[in-house]
A and B are shown apart, each in its own frame.
Chain A
Amino acid sequence: MSDHRSARELVWQQIRYQNKIFWRSPISAFFTIVFPLMFLIIFATLFGSEELGDTGVTTAQFYAPALAVFGAVSATYTNLGIGTAISRDEGILKRVRGTPLPPWIYMAGRVGSAIWIAFIAVVLMMGVGVVAYGVNIYAAALPAALLTFVVGVACFAALGLLLAALAPSGEAAPAIANATLLPLAFISDIFVAPSENSPGWSATLGDIFPLKHFAVAFSDAFHPDRVAAAGSSWLDHFHWGDLGVMALWLVGGVILAVRFFTWEPRGGERKRSARKRARVAAGS
């Protein structure tokens, strides 16, 4: 056989096989897909259909879009970052570098797969919200929700790759991912509804990072009062300010990730020879 596959074919193939690896890794599938759904069910069960705090909406109406964003960020930032750092340390990236596959196609495969999984996480979350808890969906605001999703996952995929680039080892990556994402989720209107009682600094801090902008821009597209207040045209629902902040983080993330990314395993000579010894021991 002698033929070159086109770049498009190769990208699709890489996405498909990254998806396959994701679904065969129960832990990442659990944390990305099942974990946020569990939160929705727990919160909705605990707080019932009452209005949640100062939000003007029910518990499920607040948490479904917020946790959908959390799932999307888990798929792109957490999973992509940790997975890439581990693949680098295992030597998978180095293997790929020795093949004719252009590096950008490999990365497009990983990012494309992460975004696809983020999409599934969001659709599942909103689907369960609508069917089980009567969450509202507004056709006019869906284009805005979709664009917010696209900019948001692109931003967090870039930050995920930056995480992989900066993580000193694959083992350190999960700690870094969780230590950055989880505290941020508490001040970004995801785990905790915004309240007049919360201190001003936490709101300011939340405004600096992209997560709150993702959550607010996405949630507002499902918020009855805000959708009504925004206007009747589908163009009225875009949150350009939030999208702009995410776009800035996206650009910064890409620039820094490209600057610091390496394909070589890390951990130094000592660790590598330890791995080699382990292999010798395992084989003999």
Chain B
Amino acid sequence: MAIEVTGLVKTYGETRAVNGVDLTVAEGEVFALLGPNGAGKSTAVEILEGHRTATAGTVRVLGIDPETGGRDYRERIGIVLQETAIEKELSVREAIDIYGALYPRRRPVGELIEIVGLEAKSDARIKTLSGGQRRRLELALGIVGDPELLFLDEPTTGFDPSARRQAWTVIENLAGLGKTILLTTHYMDEAQALSDRVAVIRSGEIVAEGTPETIGGRADAATVISFSLPPGTRPPGLGETLEEGGLYVMTAPEATSTLHRLTSWAVAEGVELGSLRVEKPSLEDIYLELTGEAAGE
């Protein structure tokens, strides 16, 4: 196992920021930790990184206790945090060179610049980079020591859609090399696209864990059928049908037969079903349900 955590607790005074978390991540796995701000995910991750000490529980990362692992431990991990900055007076190439020198295994500077797509900016001062470019440089610094395990704390926050796709490709390539990746994110599409397994953390506790496809009973959840009708048409009485902003929504445990009856009715009545969609609840729906967040962040 790359990460083994049992009974992890972190308290700040009266507050239990992390309240009994158990977690295992296999080698080569991409694991996403999801949860609202203040749920404890950053605290948990920072304990794994060795930035904070646990109040209780055991933590083993790559077989090492991060609290006492010191230099040997940090040579084997890469960290991309939300709150860290890079000396803005340096150029992209200089920063990668300087940080790379701290690791015994170093990836070539040119290769890293290419991986994160900063070729055109390699000699530019960091202060001239956009927010997304800086974040990609941070990603490069996270992997400059060729880590076995990479921590990514909201790696694409602030990226535009194309930069996000590029970053995803980088992360997928790393995963392809067999690196273990622990990711935190607010974006459900990101968790869906990148991770093998996800866990949802709420108020310091893990409330659900599984693959993106099955977490929170997603695989067994009822299918949702939605459609619109021409003005003046009443929906068929085929079970409970809610109306939301001109769309009719049916929750169908047996989707095949419900859909068949619905379309048969529509054909017989000569009614066109506009915007017809048949879908499982999205990872985001499950996430919002689990975290009790109607509005998200």
Asked if A20 lies at the interface with its beta carbon under 8 angstroms from chain B, I say yes
Q: How distant is B17 from chain A, measured CB to nearest CB, in Å?
A: 12
Pairwise interchain contact A282-B81, C-beta atoms closer than 8 A: no
Query: Nearest Cβ distance between residue B73 and chain A, in whole angstroms?
Result: 8
Smallest CB gap from A24: residue in B: B89
- Among B79, B94, B125, which residue has its beta carbon within 8 angstroms of that of A98? B79
| A97 on interface, CB distance cutoff 8 Å | yes
**Residue contact A283 to B104, C-beta cutoff 8 Å:** no
A265: Cβ under 8 A from any B Cβ = yes
Instruction: Determine the chain A residues whose CB is within 8 A of the CB of B82 once the complex forms.
Output: 276
- A10 CB-CB contact with B under 8 Å: yes
Q: Is A90 an interface residue (CB 8 A)?
A: yes
Residue ID in chain B nearest A106 by CB atoms: B102
- CB-CB under 8 A from B63, the residues of chain A are none
Q: How many residues of B contact A (CB 8 A)?
A: 39
Question: How many angstroms between the C-alpha atoms of A66 and B101 in the bound complex?
Answer: 40
Nearest B residue to A277 via CB reads B158
Interchain CB contact under 8 A, B81 and A98 = yes
Q: Which residue of A lies closest to B127 (CB)?
A: A24
Decide yes or no: A10 and B79 within 8 Å by CB, A276-B157, A282-B158 being known contacts.
Answer: no
Task: Evaluate contact between B135 and A91: CB separation under 8 angstroms.
Answer: no
Mark interface residues in A98-113 (1 if CB within 8 Å of B CB, else 0).
1111100000000000
A284 within 8 Å of B by Cβ?
A: yes
Kindly state the interface size class of chain A when it binds its partner: 35 or more
CA–CA, A98 to B80, complex, Å? Answer: 9
A275-B83 contact, Cβ under 8 Å, with A3-B104, A282-B130: yes
Secondary structure of the B side of the interface? loop
Q: Does the CB pair A17–B94 fall under 8 Å? A: yes
- Most A-side CB within 10 Å, residue of B94, B104, B130, B145: B104
Q: Smallest CB–CB gap between A151 and chain B, Å? A: 30
Q: Is B260 an interface residue (CB 8 A)?
A: no
Give A51 to B93 CA distance when docked, in angstroms: 54
Is A283 a contact partner of B83 (Cβ separation < 8 A)?
A: no
Contact B83 A265 (CB under 8 A): yes
| Contact present for B99 and A99 (CB under 8 Å) | yes
Asked if A283 and B132 make an inter-chain contact with CB atoms under 8 angstroms apart, the answer reads yes
> Which residues of A (1-49) have their CB < 8 Å from a CB of B?
1-5, 10, 13, 17, 20-21, 24-25
Q: Looking at the complex, which one of A3, A17, A21, A91 makes contact with B85 (CB distance below 8 Å)?
A: A91
Q: A102-B71, A280-B157, A280-B158 are in contact. Are A95 and B105 (CB under 8 A)?
A: no
Q: Which residue of A lies closest to B98 (CB)?
A: A17
A194-230 contact mask (Cβ, 8 Å, vs B): 1 or 0: 0000000000000000000000000000000000000
Q: Using an 8 Å CB-CB cutoff, how does the interface string of B143-187 with A read, 1 for contact, 0 for none?
A: 001000000000001111001000000000000000000000000
B158 A92 Cβ-Cβ under 8 A:
no
Task: Say whether B74 contacts A95, CB under 8 Å.
Answer: no
Q: Which residues of B contact A264 (CB under 8 A)?
A: 51
Contacting pair A284 B160 (CB below 8 A): yes
Contact A95 B158 (CB under 8 A): no
Determine the chain B residues whose CB is within 8 A of the CB of A10 once the complex forms: 101-102
Confirm or deny: A270 has a beta carbon within 8 angstroms of a beta carbon on chain B. no
User: Is there a chain B Cβ closer than 8 Å to A259's Cβ?
Assistant: no
Residues of chain A within 8 A (CB-CB) of B157 are: 276, 279-280, 283
A3 to B90, CA, bound (A): 25
Q: Report if A283-B130 is in contact (Cβ < 8 Å); known contacts: A17-B98, A92-B86, A95-B85.
A: yes
B49 located at the interface, meaning its Cβ lies under 8 Å from any Cβ of chain A in the complex:
yes
Is there contact, CB below 8 Å, between B81 and A21? no
A98–B89 CB distance below 8 A: no
Assess the A20–B158 pair: CB atoms within 8 A: no
Contacts of A20 in B (CB 8 A): 89-90, 94
Complex Cα gap A92–B75 (Å) = 18
Q: Would A98 and B84 be within 8 Å (CB), given that A2-B105, A283-B159 are in contact?
A: yes
- Tell me if B85 and A100 are in contact (CB < 8 A): no
Whole-angstrom distance between the Cβ of A84 and the nearest chain B Cβ:
12
Contacts of A276 in B (CB 8 A): 82-83, 157
Smallest beta-carbon distance A107→chain B, Å: 15
Check if A284 sits within 8 Å of B90, measured CB to CB. no
Q: Give the distance in Å from the alpha carbon of A87 to the alpha carbon of B89 in the complex.
A: 12
Contact check, A94 vs B98: say whether CB atoms are below 8 A apart.
no
Is B227 part of the contact surface with A, judged by Cβ < 8 Å? no
CA distance A95 to B137 in the complex (A): 13
A279→B104 contact, CB < 8 A: no
17 additional A-B residue pairs with CB within 8 Å, beyond A17-B98, A91-B81: A13-B98, A13-B101, A20-B90, A21-B89, A24-B89, A91-B83, A91-B84, A98-B49, A98-B84, A100-B74, A100-B75, A100-B104, A272-B83, A273-B37, A276-B83, A282-B130, A283-B135
Q: Please list 13 pairs of residues, one from A and one from B, whose beta carbons are closer than 8 Å in the complex, sorted by A's number.
A: A10-B101, A17-B90, A24-B89, A94-B81, A98-B51, A100-B71, A100-B74, A102-B71, A265-B83, A275-B83, A276-B157, A279-B158, A283-B163
Binding site for B on A (CB under 8 A): 1-5, 10, 13, 17, 20-21, 24-25, 87, 90-92, 94-95, 97-102, 264-265, 272-273, 275-276, 279-284
